Chains A and B, each alone.
Chain A
Amino acid sequence: MATAESDKTGLSSKGKYKVIGTRPIRPDGVDKVTGRARYGADIRLSGMLHGAILRSPYAHARIKSIDTSKAEQLEGVYAVITHKDFPDASDKIAELGEGSVNLKHLSSNVLADDKVLYKGHAVAAVAAETTHLAYEALDLIEVEYEPLTPVLDVRKAMQDDAPILHENQRMEDMSPDATTSDKPTNIYKKFFFEQGDPDAAFEKAHIVVEREFTTATVHQGYIEPHAATAVWSAEGKVTLYTCTQGTFTVRQQVAELLGLPLSYVKVIPTEIGGGFGGKIRVYIDPVAVALARKSGRPVKVVMDRASVFEATGPTPGSWIRMKLGVDAQGKIVAGDTEIAFESGAYPVSPIGAGCMCVFSCYDIPDGRIIGYDVCVNKPHSAAYRAPGSTQVAFATESVVDEICEKLGMDPIEFRLKNASVEGTRRVDGVAYPRIGLVETIEAIRDSEHYQTPLAGPNRGRGVASGYWMNAGLKSSVTATVNGDGKVSLVEGSTDIGGSRASIAMQFAETLGIPMEDVVPAVVDTDSVGYTDVTGGSRVTYATGWAAYEAALDVQRQLCDRAAEFWEVDSSEVTYDKEDAAVKGPDGKSFGFVELAEKVTQASEPVVGRGVSNHNEPGGAFGTHAVDVEVDPETGKVKILRYTAAQDVGTAIHPSYVEGQVQGGVVQGIGWALNEEYFYDEAGVMRNASYLDYRVPTCYDLPMIDPILVEVPNPGHPYGVRGVGEVPIAPPPAAIANAIYQAVGVRMRHLPMSPPHVLHEILKKEG
C-alpha cells in the first residue's frame, strides 16, 4: 500500500495536521465487531406485528381485481393494504436532494396501481402476529391479472412496435430538434450535448474506431435487506425506524406518499448494512407506515433477499455506440456516442450522469453525446456508485485501448497526451477547475506494478481511467461542549462506512483536540438540522465541512466566555488550535478542557452549530491497472494483480479512504466478470440469489493496492474530495483491455463471464 506505516503512530504522513491523516479506531467500531450495533431488522417494539408483501408473478400485466377478504379473516392478521390505501399521488416531481422522483411513479412502485411493470412488483401487504402468519395470509389474497407482453431489452423497447409500459408517456426531446409527438413511447427523454463540429472533425481524423457495447443489469448487492418499523402515536404522528442512506429523504417521501405533514414523520436511522445508492428511494417504508396506521400496532417489514434483487433498484443495463477519432500524433480530435439506459419500470435512470461522464477523462474539442432514458419491464433502476459512469467508461476506455493499439502507443502515454486538465471543456460544456487526473495516470505509470513486466501465457495487463462528479448538498451538525472537556457531535449523515470517524476527525482538527474526545451521534430527523443523503461521495466533504463550521462556532463561543471570565474584550482573545487553548492578553490562557469545565459550571452552555451547502468543484478521477490470466479452455478470468490510483484530495482517515477504493474496485470487478440479472423470456429473473447472481467472494480476488494521490481540493477547508464512487468506474474497461492483451479478443459485453469470453475465443479460433 502506498501509505506510510508511520501513519499508524498517530502523525500524519505530511505532518500538516494533528488528527487528519491518522488512523484512529472508528467510534462505532466496538459495537459493530461485537454484534451490538442495531441494524434495520434488529428493531423490536412492544406489540409489534410483522409485515409481508405480495409480489407480482408477471413482468407486465394489468391488475383486474384484488380480493383481500380471505386474508383479512385469517386469525392473527391485523391489516391488509393495497394501493387504494394510499392517497392519490399527484404527478408532482419531488426533489430528493440527490435526484428527483415523480411521486405518482413512486407511489405505484411501492404498491402497484392498475398495472404491474416487473416480476416482483409489490401488489398488496399484510401485517400479522408473526412473519410466518403474514406469509400465509399473502397466499389468501386473490389477484386477477391480465398478462401483457413484457419488453426487457433497451433497444427492443425503443422500437415503434414495442409493448408500451406507460400509455401516457411521450418523449421529451432535449436535442435542438426538440421534436414533439403524440405517440406513446418507452423513451422518456432524449439527451443531447454537442461541442464544435464532430462530423467535420471525423473527416480529418487519422484513425477512427467505432464500436457497440452492451452491459447487463446489475445490483448494488448490499448485504442488509431493506427493513422498516413504524409506530404511530395517538395524536397522529408516526415514528419510523429504518436503514437508509438519508433519513430526511425518507421523511419527505413517506410524508408525500401518505399525505402527512412533513413534521409529523420522525425517521430514526438504524445502522445501515450497505446501500451504494440503493437505499435512497423508499420501498417498504410507506408500507410499514400504512400497515401500522391500519392495524393500530407497530409494524416491522423486512425484505427477503430475492425481493431485494427483483424489486429494488438495480443499475441500468445499457447499449452504447462509441466512436472516437485521433490524428496521426495520437491526439483525440472527435468523439461521438449514443447511449441508451434501461430505466426499468419507471423513469428516470442515471443516463444524464452517464452522458456527462462518458468523455469526462479526455480533451475532446469536437464531440456529440446522445442519451436515451428508456423504460423496460425490470425494477425501476436506482443510483449505484457513480451511477451511469461505469457503463460509459467501459465503452470509452475500450475504444481508447483499441486506438492505442492501432497507433502503437502506450495507453499511459496516450492518456497523458489527451487527459482532461484544468480548463478542459467537457462536451457538455463545463470547463474543469483544478483536477487530478494526470496525477493518477502518472501514479500508475510510476507504480511498481506498472514498472514490473508481466510474464506468462494467457496473461495480459489493462489500464483504464474513470470519473465521478461528486456532490456537495446540505448538511447540519451541532456540537455541545461537555463539562468533562469532551464534545457531543450530533449529525444527520447515516454512517455507511466510517463517516462518524471522518467527520469527528475534521471537527477535532479544527479545535486541536484528540479525535477520541469527540463523541459522535447519528440522530433522527427531529434532533438535527436538515441533512441530505449519504451518497454522491458527499459526507466526508459536506458534513465534514459542517463539522468544521461547528468547531469554528465553538471556538468563537469559548473565546467570548473566556473574555467574560477575564473581563476583557472578546477581540483580545484568540483560539490557539495548536495548543487547544484560548489565549488572552498578558499571557492569560485556558486549556480546552479547563475552560469546558469552567463554562459548564458558571456560564451559558457552549453549543456550536455548523451547516454547509457547498458545491464540490471538479469531481474526482481514478486510473487503474490490472493483470489478468484467462483460461482459454473455460473462458474464466482470474485477477492476478490490481492497482488503483485516485485523486482523493486529502485523505482524512487513510484506512477508510483505501477501503472505499478497494471496495469500489471489487464491485467493479464483479460487474466486469460475473454479475448480471438473468431474465427468461417471460421477464422472470432466474438468478435472484447471491451465488447465482454471483457477487465476488474473498476467494476470487487478490489484494487490491490503492494509491492515494492527494491533490487538495481548493473548494474545501481541508482539501477533501469525495472518494467513494470513482473507483467502480474503471474496472470493467481495464479488465476488458487486459483480456485482449491476454488472449486477443475484444470483449464488448458485460459481464465478461466464462461463457461470453469462451465464445469470443472460439469465434477467433474459427
Chain B
Amino acid sequence: MPVVFIPPHARRFVNGQKQIEVEGSTVEKLLRNLETEYPGIWDTLCVDDALKPGLAVAVDGNMSNRGLHQAVQTESEVHILPAVGGG
C-alpha cells in the first residue's frame, strides 16, 4: 500500500502519526481516503479540490507538478512539501 508522510502541521488529525499506509491510485484518492478515517486532514492540505497554495507533492522523491492528480504506485512514498521556485 502507498505510504503518505504526514506533514507536521497535519499530524494532530492523525494522532501524531508520521506516516500512514493508505489505499489509492492518485494523491487525491489517498488524501480522500485519509479524510474518511481522520476528518480534518483534507482541509488542512487542500482547498477547492487542489493542494493549498505553497504546498507541493513529491512521489518517490520526485517533486510533481501534477498536484493531487499525480498517480501513485502500490509501493510509493508520498510527501507533502513546500512548493519551491527556482531561479
A→B interface (CB under 8 Å): 93, 95-100, 173-176, 178, 189, 191-194, 220, 275-278, 280, 348, 350-353, 355-356, 383-387, 428-433, 468-474, 535-538, 613, 615-618, 715, 724-725
**Cβ-defined contact, A277 with B77, below 8 A:** no
Asked whether A386 and B54 contact (CB < 8 A) given A613-B66, A615-B64, the answer is no
A347 CB, min distance to chain B CBs, angstroms = 9
> Contact at B79–A429, with CB atoms within 8 Å?
yes
- Report yes or no: B86 in contact with A535, Cβ–Cβ below 8 A: yes
Q: Are A100 and B87 in contact (CB under 8 A)?
A: no
* Residues on A with beta carbons closer than 8 Å to the beta carbon of B84: 99, 350, 352-353, 356, 387, 469, 471
Interfacial chain A residues near B82, Cβ < 8 Å? 191, 351-353, 355-356
**A615→B63 contact, CB < 8 A:** yes
What per-residue 1/0 map shows which CB atoms of B7-19 lie under 8 Å from chain A? 1110110001000
Contact A98:B8 (CB < 8 A) given known A430-B61, A613-B65:
no
Tell whether, in the assembled complex, residue B9 and residue A536 are in contact, meaning their CB atoms are under 8 Å apart: no
Chain B residue numbers with a CB within 8 Å of A430 are 58, 61, 79, 81
User: Is B86 touching A725 in the complex (CB atoms < 8 A)?
Assistant: yes
Q: Are B9 and A192 in contact (CB under 8 A)?
A: yes
Complex alpha-carbon distance, A312 and B87, angstroms:
14
Given contacts A99-B84, A430-B81, 6 further A-B contacts (CB under 8 A): A100-B83, A277-B86, A352-B84, A387-B86, A431-B61, A469-B63
10 closest A-B pairs by beta carbon, nearest first, are A99-B85, A277-B87, A536-B86, A352-B82, A93-B53, A385-B87, A615-B62, A383-B87, A174-B9, A353-B84
Total residue contacts A-B, CB cutoff 8 A: 120
Chain A residues contacting B16 (CB-CB under 8 Å) are 176
A384 engages B83 (CB within 8 Å): no
Q: How far is the CA of A220 from the CA of B87 in the complex (A)?
A: 9
B55 to chain A, nearest CB (A): 9
Chain B: interface residue count, which band? Answer: 20 to 34
Chosen A-B contacts, 15 in total, with CB atoms closer than 8 Å, are: A100-B85, A176-B8, A353-B85, A355-B82, A356-B81, A356-B84, A383-B86, A387-B85, A430-B61, A432-B61, A468-B86, A469-B84, A469-B86, A472-B65, A725-B87
Residue ranges of B at the interface with A (Cβ–Cβ < 8 Å): 5, 7-9, 11-12, 16, 53-54, 58, 60-66, 77, 79, 81-87
Are B86 and A194 in contact, CB atoms less than 8 angstroms apart? no
Q: Are A175 and B81 in contact, CB atoms less than 8 angstroms apart?
A: no
Query: Which chain B residues border A174 with CB–CB below 8 Å?
Result: 7-9
Assess the B9–A178 pair: CB atoms within 8 A.
yes
Highest count of chain B CB atoms <10 Å: which of A353, A432, A433, A468: A353
Report the Cα distance A415→B82, complex, angstroms: 27
Q: Is the CB of B86 within 8 A of A386?
A: yes
A428 CA to B6 CA in the complex, in Å?
11
A617:B9 contact, CB within 8 angstroms: no
Question: Chain A residues near B8 (CB, 8 Å)?
Answer: 174-176, 192-194
Q: Say yes or no: A617 contacts B85, CB within 8 Å.
A: no
Verify A473–B87 contact, CB threshold 8 A. Answer: no
Contact across chains for B62 and A433 when beta carbons are under 8 A apart: yes
Flag if B62 contacts A715 (CB, 8 Å).
yes
Chain B residues contacting A537 (CB-CB under 8 Å) are 86
Asked if A99 and B83 make an inter-chain contact with CB atoms under 8 angstroms apart, the answer reads yes
> In the complex, are the beta carbons of A387 and B87 less than 8 A apart?
yes
Question: Which of A189, A220, A383 sits near B85, CB closer than 8 Å?
Answer: A383
A95-B53 contact, Cβ under 8 Å, with A353-B82, A353-B85, A536-B85: yes
Q: In the bound complex, how far is the Cα of B4 from the Cα of A429, in angstroms?
A: 11
Contacts of A100 in B (CB 8 A): 53-54, 83, 85
Q: What is the CB-to-nearest-CB distance from B22 to chain A, in angstroms, rounded to a whole number?
A: 16
| Residues of the B chain whose Cβ atoms lie less than 8 Å from the Cβ of A275 | 87
**CA–CA, A191 and B8, complex, Å:** 9
* Nearest opposing residue in chain B for A191, CB measure: B82
User: In the complex, A432→B62 CA distance in Å?
Assistant: 9
| A178–B87 CB distance below 8 A | no
Contacting residues, chain A, for B5 (C-beta < 8 A): 429
Shortest C-beta distance, A390 to chain B (Å), equals: 10
Measured in the bound complex, the distance between the Cα atoms of B9 and A356 in whole Å is 16
Closest CB-CB distance, B71 to chain A, in whole Å? 12
Q: Which of B60, B65, B77, B87 contacts A535 (CB 8 A)?
A: B87
Instruction: Verify A175–B9 contact, CB threshold 8 A.
Output: yes
Task: Considering the complex, give the chain A residue whose CB is closest to the CB of B11.
Answer: A176
Q: Are B86 and A474 in contact (CB under 8 A)?
A: no
CA distance A615 to B58 in the complex (A): 9
Tell me the bound Cα distance from A174 to B86 in angstroms.
22
Say whether B54 contacts A348, CB under 8 Å: yes
Q: A174-B7, A430-B79 are in contact. Are A536 and B61 (CB under 8 A)?
A: no
Q: List, in ascending order, chain A residues with CB within 8 A of B87's CB.
A: 220, 275-278, 383-387, 535-536, 724-725
Question: Which chain A residue shows the least CB distance to B44?
Answer: A178
Question: A471 CA to B87 CA in the complex, in Å?
Answer: 10
Q: List the B side residues contacting A353 at CB < 8 Å.
A: 82, 84-86
**Cβ-defined contact, B65 with A428, below 8 A:** no
Specify which chain B residues have a CB less than 8 angstroms from the CB of A473 in the assembled complex. Answer: 65
Residues of B near A355 (CB, < 8 A) are 82
